[in-house]
Homo-oligomer: A and B are copies of this chain.
Amino acid sequence: MKRYVELAEMLAAQIEAGMLPVGARLPSVRHLTSQHGVGQSTVFRAYHLLEARGLIEAHARSGYYVAAAARAKVRPAGRAAAAAAPQIEIDATDFAFSVLDTHRHPGIVPLGSASPSPTLFPLQRLAKSLAHATRLLDPWSTVHATARGEEHLRRQLAQRYLGMGIPQPLEEIVVTNGAMEALNLCLMAVTSPGDFIAIESPCFHGVLQAVERLGLRAIEIPVDPQTGLDLVALENALQRHPIRVCWFMTNFHHPTGHTMSRARKAAMVALLVKHQVPLIEDDVYGELHFNKARPFPAKAFDDHGLVMHCSSLSKTLCPGYRLGWTAAGRFADKVRKLKSMMSVATSVPIQAGIADYLQHGGFDRHLKKLRASLHAQLKAMEKAIARCLPSSVQYHRPAGGYFLWLRLPAHVDAMRVHTLALEHGISVTPGAVFASTGRYRNYLRINFGHPWTPRFENALEILGELLAAEEVGFGLYGYLLRRDGGERTYSMWPRFADELSAAPDYAS
List residues of A whose CB falls within 8 A of some B CB.
54, 73, 76-79, 81-82, 85-88, 91, 93-94, 97, 104, 106, 113, 115-119, 121, 123-124, 126-127, 130-131, 134-135, 137, 139-146, 167, 169, 171, 176-178, 180-181, 184, 188-189, 193, 206, 209-210, 213, 215, 276, 303-305, 318-323, 329-331, 333-334, 337-338, 340-350
B342 touches A184 (CB 8 A): yes
User: Which residues of B sit under 8 angstroms from A171, Cβ to Cβ?
Assistant: 54, 73
Do the beta carbons of A320 and B141 come within 8 Å of each other?
A: yes
Chain A to chain B contacts (Cβ below 8 Å), 25 pairs: A78-B167, A79-B305, A81-B303, A82-B329, A93-B341, A106-B140, A113-B143, A115-B143, A118-B142, A126-B134, A127-B131, A127-B135, A127-B349, A130-B130, A131-B131, A131-B134, A142-B318, A180-B343, A181-B343, A184-B343, A188-B213, A320-B345, A320-B348, A322-B346, A323-B347
User: Could you tell me if B119 and A127 are in contact, using CB atoms closer than 8 angstroms?
Assistant: no
Closest chain B residue, CB of each to CB of A52: B333
In the complex, the answer to whether A349 meets B121 with C-beta atoms within 8 Å is no
Q: What is the CB-to-nearest-CB distance from A252 to chain B, in angstroms, rounded to a whole number?
A: 18
**Nearest chain B CB to A395's CB is how many angstroms away?**
24
Tell me the smallest distance from the CB of A220 to a CB of chain B, in Å. Answer: 19
Q: How far is the CA of A78 from the CA of B303 in the complex (A)?
A: 8
Residues in B neighbouring A331, C-beta threshold 8 A: 88
Residues from chain B with Cβ under 8 Å of A213 in the complex: 188, 338, 341
Contacts of A94 in B (CB 8 A): 337
Smallest Cβ-Cβ distance to A181: which chain B residue: B343
In-complex Cβ contact of A82 among B178, B210, B303 (8 A): B303
Whole-angstrom CA separation of A86 from B178 in the bound complex: 29
Measured CB to CB, the nearest residue on chain B to A123 is B139
Contact among B141, B177, B303, B349 with A343 in the assembled complex (CB-CB below 8 Å): B177
Which residues of B are found within 8 Å of A134, using beta-carbon distances?
126-127, 130-131
Q: How far is the CA of A145 from the CA of B319 in the complex (A)?
A: 9
B345 touches A322 (CB 8 A): yes
- The 4 A-B residue pairs with the shortest CB-CB distance, nearest first, are A142-B320, A131-B131, A320-B348, A118-B139
Q: Name the residue of chain B whose CB is nearest to the CB of A353.
A: B349
A447: min CB distance to chain B, Å: 11
Contact among B139, B167, B333 with A88 in the assembled complex (CB-CB below 8 Å): B333
- In the complex, what distance in Å separates the CA atom of A119 from the CA atom of B130? 21
Identical copies of this chain, number:
2
Partner of A350 from the list B88, B303, B318, B347 (CB cut-off 8 Å) is B347
A347 pairs with B140, CB closer than 8 A: no
B145–A342 touching, CB < 8 Å: no
Instruction: Give every chain B residue within 8 A of A338 (Cβ-Cβ).
Output: 213
Q: Which residues of B contact A209 (CB under 8 A)?
A: 341
Instruction: Say yes or no: B334 contacts A88, CB within 8 Å.
Output: yes
Q: Which residue, A78, A94, A143, A169, has most C-beta atoms of chain B within 10 A?
A: A143
Q: A106-B140, A341-B209 are in contact. Are A320 and B304 (CB under 8 A)?
A: no
Chain B residue with Cβ nearest A119: B139
Chain B residue nearest to A188 (CB atoms) is: B213
Decide: B143 and A137 in contact? CB cutoff 8 A: no
A334 to B, closest residue via Cβ:
B88
The answer for the CA separation of A91 and B87 in the assembled complex, in Å, is 37
Q: Taking A85-B330, A142-B318 as given, write out 17 further A-B residue pairs in contact, using a Cβ cutoff of 8 Å, ordered by the A residue number.
A: A73-B171, A82-B304, A85-B304, A86-B276, A117-B143, A118-B142, A124-B135, A177-B343, A177-B346, A177-B347, A178-B343, A193-B193, A213-B341, A320-B345, A322-B343, A322-B347, A342-B342
Smallest CB separation, A275 vs chain B (Å): 13
Query: Which of A137, A141, A329, A338 has the most chain B CB atoms closer than 10 A to its own CB?
Result: A137
Between A123, A134, A171, A215, the greatest number of chain B beta carbons within 10 A of the residue's beta carbon is seen for A134
User: How far, in Å, is A135 (CB) from chain B's closest CB?
Assistant: 5
Asked if residues B341 and A184 are in contact (CB atoms below 8 Å), the reply is yes
Q: Closest CB-CB distance, A272 to chain B, in whole Å? A: 12
List chain B residues, Cβ under 8 A from A167: 77-78
Q: How far is the CA of A384 from the CA of B206 in the complex (A)?
A: 54
Contact B344 A180 (CB under 8 A): yes
